[in-house]
Structure 1
């Protein structure tokens, strides 16, 4: 709580700060142990930056964004990184109810993107990765690296295919253990397998389980008219 008071004092002195909320692990569990505190700061000027700041002896990571710029990132980002910021929030500053309007708009964008899961696009992305793995015949270490990259993509797509916001990568496996024990078992088999062929067989089973169609290296998108 002292950290929140110190943070509020720090931001109140900044005229450009319209609102601020804490997100991440601290917002979910303020009483837990935290390495730092993540803060989104809504500003009324046309710039953005990240700032590491020690306040009352606690490391804070502050992310400053104007409204339209942040919303555009939410609309266009592929990794859903910023999207996760808005799922658990603790507002500490809200001048003129700026965040009271901004946060629901942000959540609406995220939910719309989750509903518009593009299975064809991900079948292409996975197909492209499979081709890279197939073509690597000289360096087993490189081939294994590509397999690990594919595994990460498969787990990411699993969340999207279920219309679930992906968690941070360091929580992928723990979350999947709760959501899908069968997929979790395949992850274990992948890491326990000693032979690359066995690992590849496990990855193919995972891809089938995603139910996104047959992987392909061909993709044609719709035409999108560009604004002047």
Structure 2
């Protein structure tokens, strides 16, 4: 989904760049509440994993390409604000060192894959987690659904940007079909990978999964009730 240079006009790129700067600034402040001595090293590992998976690109037609995003996975493991920072660092390194996505489109890519991908993924995780039984295993389907939904939503956001400021000689209908259709399938694949990763971490170290922390707190309170002590 990396947007190359020249795919969107200057005003659209400038607007998404501004959104990205504001979003990353807010993420820097919010990440202070999420990171500690346990999650800081994990954030680096998540960044490395997302970087590796995003490097596998394949064409989906209409001048676009598809790959796994990793936004919901990052949000579930290290929190939404830190997840935005993880995605932003990955996208910056890819643009500077691997020419994956253009520098003038960096703000667009951060907006789509960082802010939209992580934000939508986290919103779905929180919603599904509230509907499922309050146990740590519920984080697995919540994160999987977050991944499945966040990918096509990010693709739809790109299509909307292209409709507003696209300058590439590609019909909007072709872009819409390629992006939404293929990224729905990519989202299903990402859901499987996200579920496998989250389930393995929850099974061994649930305290490392940011999305599971409220559920662990609930379990701790239950253990300490007077009835349990008696």
**What TM-score do you get using the length of structure 1 for normalisation?**
0.29
Specify which structure has the higher proportion of strand: 1
- Structure having greater relative contact order (Cα 8 Å, sep ≥ 6): 2
Specify which structure has the higher proportion of helix: 2
